[in-house]
Structure 1
Amino acid sequence: MVGNIKRLESLALLGVDVNCRHVYGWTALHAAAINGRTEAVKWLLKHGADPNAQDNFSNIYQVARENRTSPTNVEVVRESEFSTRLNHSQMFRGCTALHYAVLSDDTPTMQALLDAGADPTLCNEYKLPPADYARDIGMRKLMQNHMQRFEHKKKEQQIEERRKFPIEQRIKKSIIGQTGAISTVCATIRRKENGWCDDEHPLVFLFLGSSGIGKTELAKQIASYLHKDHKDGFIRMDMSEYQQKHEVSKFIGSPPGYIGHDEGGQLTTKLRKNPNAVVLFDEVEKAHPDVLTILLQLFDEGRLTDGKGKTIECKDAIFIMTSNLGSDEIAGHALQLREEAEALSAHRYDQEPSDEAVEAPLTISRNFKEAVIRPILKSHFQRDEFLGRINEIVYFVPFSRAELLQLVRMELEAWIQRAEKKHSITLKFDPLVLDALADGYNVHYGARSIKHEVERRVVNQLALAYENGVLSKGCSVLVTAVVPSTPQEKAKPIIDSNTPIVLKVKKDKDSEFKEVDPSSQLKN
């Protein structure tokens, strides 16, 4: 079928995806490449086939186990529907169409794939690029030349991209506040990207601060920046799952002779897929000391040995630990610094600081780090050598008033879109509501407290009004705050978490907004 252009065209007319996979893992492009069907390869590429798609077929034995059939049955299918040229007991997972073109000594197909943007540096499960499978010396040199050109071009593109759109600029688009933390992390990654780092050790960060203030999100954004949203580029390990000594085996895999030996470890399995990944060890303080011993080896040597005795080299990985250790102390110190800065600003300009003012990033004092935080870390981790392998301890501070208003605005805008998309209701917010909701911030729960405050004080009313028929499709809703009058005409009204928030509804464009009771029917 893969060599029959008319058959491919008829399937395309039926809406069949050119990148769809056989139940055993390969694509039509893989099959066309291994069988030397150059015209079919060109047709598939022209119609959207991914030149860098990797085969999910491992070998006949593993596929047989996964599909609960016999290796013989798998081999028959693989030979009849893929190719008879290969020894299917060998491992083929991760092979691209370029691997198969080289395996079949097919230069025209290889060139067609390269012209379509196939990556000659992509490796299979054995960490081997297509060039390593070339039997002909001329083809091997040709592939190696393409690899060098591809890597050089890719590097130049990355450098130019970093110049035009620096990492700080990218990350700040997705994270509110934490300017100091972002600057520290980005400066360290920049050293690594440009070759100003120790190549023998991976980068290790420890993110400290309260919950819900961006520690996990910053780790995700780093992975997105470095790995272009590749799903294997970010690994998250919840360290609360490794609190007991016997759970260490889940981390790196059980040794031979023990239950689960064939399954592999949760970390080692993921790291083997992408040794350059960004790995997040969430709430690392909850892990058993034996797990920390494994992490020390990982951070110190840049390699990890699994339960089967196989070593994974991961010196180019980035390891990020998060912890709530010292979070109360950090929050208290940061709030004190912010109060001092605001008092100084008010004194300097003889006015109260504006909520919308651009604030300089808080700088956690060296004395605070050494006198307060280091003893807390040392008391918990018990090892100076563990703390010594951390490149940067990064401090996340509570949100400022201006940042809280940004968070509230972002949350409300999300609900505006949901109301329009799901219910065809136009949602608007009085600016006073921002202040009322921002006052519900809890320093211990971070941005989550803002999300919950919006849901509790606004969305609950909207849901009740919708259920009771107060809201209908096409109507407009104004969410506003009831501000008490002040004795002095120019006095600023007091708006806080106790300020009532009400709904005003306009049934159509010709009517006016009316305050409504969400628990009763709308009165005309």
Structure 2
Amino acid sequence: MALRGALTRVYSTRAACARCLLIPVRHCLVPQIVQDSHQRSRSRNFNVRYTLGAASMGLALLAADHIFNEKKFFRAAQVGNIQEIKRQVEAIRDSGQRHGGGDEDEGPADRRHTLGWTALMVAAANDEPAVVRELLGLGARPDLREQYAGASAAAAATGLHPLEVLQRREDEFCSGMNARASFLGWTALHYAALADSPAAARALLEAGADPTARDHAGRRALHYAREPSATRDLIVEHSRRWDERAAALATEERRRFPLERRLRAHIVGQTGAIETVAAAVRRKESGWADDEHPLVFLFLGSSGIGKTELAKQLARYVHRDDPAAFVRLDMSEYQEKHEVAKLIGAPPGYVGHDEGGQLTRALARRADAVVLFDEVDKAHPDVLTVLLQLFDEGRLTDGKGKLIECKNAIFVMTSNLAADEIAQYGLRLRREAEVRAHQRQMQIQTDAANTPNKERAADAGGEGGEETEEEVEVSRQFKDSVVRPILKRHFGRDEFLGRINEIVYFLPFSRQELLALVARELGLWAERARDRHGVHLSWEGGVLGALADGYDVHYGARSIKHEVERRVAGRLALAAERGAVCRGCSVRLAASGGRVHIAVRAPHDTDYTPLDL
């Protein structure tokens, strides 16, 4: 009876094969009355063996329905075979194969192809909205990203031959797309837009697909939709809703966590520079600025003073930590006239025409990026001419003649021009501020001596017992009479300087800021000592002042970094080499007479032992 049941199931799932198998099985079950007993016995043994083989083959055919077959799965998504998709998803569930090259939280319906795509992408690319809806109902996630980066890259990653990759892309994805091109970062909605499938796009959007998601080239799904088309109208409508929702969330977050607070959390000092940048960005974002031109800054000051770091933190804040939204170009690489082609792309007929330029490629991906032109004073004048067009019109024409609109971008230029003059002026301002602070402190002490005890206690309580450092500000006379002539003499054109919205001045660090820099640097080394060597590093307060004395106004925070490396990290490395510092030790830094001393405590000791190197 069990055999008959198994064969019946085989017949229902594999009709053709089952019919072939049932004929000899049926013969073996019919009594052979006309044969003699010897022949009947021998025939029975043969038929039993044949029956067992047939049953095994039937059970194997049944089991085949419960084993995942990659080719059948993606082929079914390509041609719209929903029943086969259900069987394959069930097979993945039964076998426990969950992610197959994807993320840990990808479900059975998100099973990735060996070359990187999902069945939902296949269905969207082949205009199969019914399959799209079925896969979404089975738990497929609409915003998974394509991992196929072209035939050559896929062949290198998987070890397959490029021709085999091309063939599998056509057979198991879509035969109407260029299999050699990269689709890295695409979502199913990108494919639905390219295939002009409004039904598939609607199903994806209703399932929560993000219409603002960008592929590896920085393009949204809307970029690939035909114009005009129902698919494009649908994506435009949902994109507007997403943008409005994102803008409202960003506004609320910035109200609770202003730009000034974000920048001060990562940058020591430079209060004036931070406030100037934050005010300009706020005007731009709130609509109280010229929308026809991008925002342009020129950061001036000594090396290592925080200019580049401020640009990085600005990009992180404006674009919510998106690394693709920050572009850094070292302008020392553009000192020759012919290197303009590296920036905007070579003209037709020249080598590299198809590759485009570094700047144009970046702005094509993100037209609202924060672009840093580092050391702009080293660039060739022809490069400055290109930048003038960019700053003046908010647009740029690449080597192929394509126009790139970038009025929403933020451009930051850094320069060491007038660095010595700014440093000396800043030091003078710091000294004058210290004198005024000292005079105020002396006046407070004099007033306190002449005030009765009760009033003195009330005044002390009102002051809070905390001294605040006086902020310094660069005067208009210094900007116009000292800095601007230097800039004009170098750049040679007023129109270039006229397109800069804000010239931001970075002044030398005050004493309190230097102490904060040293404390931060020592904190980083303490973390490294703990994680890499198992050593606990601590220090006394006098160490901060001793290391801060190594500050060089021309090298900024880098001089502090080098001072800590030389006087602390270098001596600890020497102590470890001599065996005086080992894993589990505690190291304490102390200072006397401007020198830093090291004391070590072994793991089982209670006292520190001075270390003489």
Indicate whether the TM-score tops 0.5. yes
Instruction: State the 1:344 CA deviation.
Output: 1.1
Is structure 2 residue 599 aligned with structure 1 residue 504? yes
427, 433, 443: which one aligns with 2:553: 443
Q: Percent identity at matched positions? A: 52
Aligned to 1:415: 525
Instruction: State the 1:151 CA deviation.
Output: 1.9
167, 179, 183: which one aligns with 1:76: 167
1:250 to 1:101, Cα distance in 2 relative to 1, 3 A: closer
1:410 to 1:192, Cα distance in 2 relative to 1, 3 A: same
Q: Distance in 1 between matches of 2:144 and 2:468?
A: 45
419, 432, 455: which one aligns with 1:327: 419
Q: Distance in 2 between matches of 1:167 and 1:324?
A: 25
* Paired letter, 1:5: V
* Paired letter, 1:378: K
Is structure 2 residue 297 aligned with structure 1 residue 205? yes
Q: Distance in 1 between matches of 2:180 and 2:102?
A: 30
Aligned to 2:252: 160
Q: Distance in 2 between matches of 1:30 and 1:21?
A: 10
The number of residue pairs the alignment matches comes to 496
80, 98, 104: which one aligns with 1:12: 98
Is structure 2 residue 191 aligned with structure 1 residue 100? yes
Instruction: State the 1:110 CA deviation.
Output: 4.6
Contact 2:533–2:583 at 8 Å: present in 1 too?
yes
1:345-371 per-residue CA deviation (whole Å, 9 max, x = no partner) reads: 111221899xx9432332100000000
Q: Distance in 2 between matches of 1:136 and 1:261?
A: 31
Which secondary structure does the structure 1 equivalent of 2:98 belong to?
helix
Structure 2 gap segments, 5+ residues each = 1-69, 75-84, 446-465
Aligned to 2:437: 345
Q: Distance in 1 between matches of 2:270 and 2:112?
A: 44
Q: Distance in 1 between matches of 2:415 and 2:262?
A: 25
Aligned to 1:377: 487
Q: Distance in 1 between matches of 2:161 and 2:605?
A: 72
Q: Distance in 1 between matches of 2:312 and 2:601?
A: 41
Instruction: State the 1:474 CA deviation.
Output: 1.1
1:26-66 per-residue CA deviation (whole Å, 9 max, x = no partner) reads: 45653354453445446665xxx6716367657x8999999
Instruction: State the 1:104 CA deviation.
Output: 7.0
1:48-447 to 2 correspondence within 5 Å?
Answer: 51=143, 53=145, 57=149, 75-84=166-175, 95-101=186-192, 103=195, 105=197, 107=199, 110-111=202-203, 114-116=206-208, 118-122=209-213, 129-130=221-222, 133=225, 142-350=234-442, 357-447=467-557
* Paired letter, 1:261: H
Aligned to 1:514: 609
Q: Distance in 1 between matches of 2:181 and 2:522?
A: 55
Instruction: State the 1:105 CA deviation.
Output: 3.6
Instruction: State the 1:477 CA deviation.
Output: 0.8
1:166-211 per-residue CA deviation (whole Å, 9 max, x = no partner) reads: 1111111111111100100010000111111111111110000000
1:199 to 1:512, Cα distance in 2 relative to 1, 3 A: same
Q: Distance in 2 between matches of 1:436 and 1:25?
A: 56
Which secondary structure does the structure 1 equivalent of 2:429 belong to?
helix
Aligned to 1:522: none
Q: Distance in 1 between matches of 2:305 and 2:227?
A: 55
Contact 2:132–2:203 at 8 Å: present in 1 too?
no
Aligned to 1:478: 588
1:344 to 1:14, Cα distance in 2 relative to 1, 3 A: same
Moved more, 163-172 or 32-41: 32-41
Contact 1:480–1:503 at 8 Å: present in 2 too?
yes
1:66-101 per-residue CA deviation (whole Å, 9 max, x = no partner) reads: 99x999766533222323465768996664212334
1:507 to 1:269, Cα distance in 2 relative to 1, 3 A: same
* Paired letter, 2:170: E
Aligned to 1:460: 570
Q: Distance in 2 between matches of 1:92 and 1:327?
A: 46
Contact 1:261–1:307 at 8 Å: present in 2 too?
yes
* Paired letter, 1:297: Q
Aligned to 1:489: none
Q: Distance in 2 between matches of 1:61 and 1:418?
A: 40
* Paired letter, 1:158: A
Work out which structure has the larger RCO, using CA pairs closer than 8 Å and 6 or more positions apart in sequence: 1
Return the TM-score normalized by structure 2. Answer: 0.73
Return the TM-score normalized by structure 1. Answer: 0.85
1:482-522 per-residue CA deviation (whole Å, 9 max, x = no partner) reads: 34xxxxxxxxxxxxxxx22121111135421110124xxxx
Instruction: State the 1:373 CA deviation.
Output: 0.3
1:24 to 1:318, Cα distance in 2 relative to 1, 3 A: farther
1:16 to 1:142, Cα distance in 2 relative to 1, 3 A: closer
Which secondary structure does the structure 2 equivalent of 1:350 belong to?
helix
Instruction: State the 1:132 CA deviation.
Output: 7.0
Instruction: State the 1:25 CA deviation.
Output: 6.4
| Larger-Rg structure | 2
* Paired letter, 1:359: E
Instruction: State the 1:145 CA deviation.
Output: 3.5
Contact 1:105–1:134 at 8 Å: present in 2 too?
no
Moved more, 145-154 or 366-375: 145-154
1:265 to 1:133, Cα distance in 2 relative to 1, 3 A: closer
Q: Distance in 2 between matches of 1:52 and 1:316?
A: 28
1:286 to 1:136, Cα distance in 2 relative to 1, 3 A: closer
1:259 to 1:500, Cα distance in 2 relative to 1, 3 A: same
CA RMSD of aligned residues (A): 3.5
- Which has the larger helix fraction? 2
1:139-183 per-residue CA deviation (whole Å, 9 max, x = no partner) reads: 665544322322221121111111111111111111111110010
